[in-house]
Amino acid sequence: MPLYEYKCLDCNSKFEVLIKDLSEEIACENCGSKNIKRLISAFSFATTGDSGVRITSGSSCSTCSSKSCSACKTS
């Protein structure tokens, strides 16, 4: 099941929805509006290499507010 990111065009909030059924109607989690736009989302992943070092890839992660994972100190 894919996870999609949306932006409400009425209140400008961003939210994610796990889509179980493509015919499902999506509404803003903040204001309930159906005037929403699906955003293009970057993905990220984390693996542990042979050395035990955590390797991450993507434009951002959920553990910090930086737009670059190189700024994260979670590795």
Nearest-angstrom CA–CA distance, 20 and 13: 22
Range of the domain at 13: 3-59
Which CATH number is 53's domain given? Answer: 2.20.28
Virtual CA dihedral for 64, 53, 3, 40, nearest 10 degrees?
A: 70
- Number of domains composing the chain: 1
CA distance 75 to 22: 36
Q: pTM to 2 decimals?
A: 0.55
In degrees and rounded to multiples of 5, residue 71 shows phi and psi of: -85, -15
Q: Quick check: is 74 in a domain?
A: no
Q: How many residues does the chain have?
A: 75
Q: Which of 6-10, 15-19, 44-48, 53-57 has the lowest mean pLDDT?
A: 53-57
Least confident piece of the model among 3-7, 48-52, 67-71: 67-71
pLDDT recorded at residue 70: 53
Digit-coded pLDDT (tens) for 27-61: 999 999 999 999 987 766 666 666 665 555 544 44
71's tokens? 């700024």
Residue 24 falls within a domain, yes or no?
A: yes
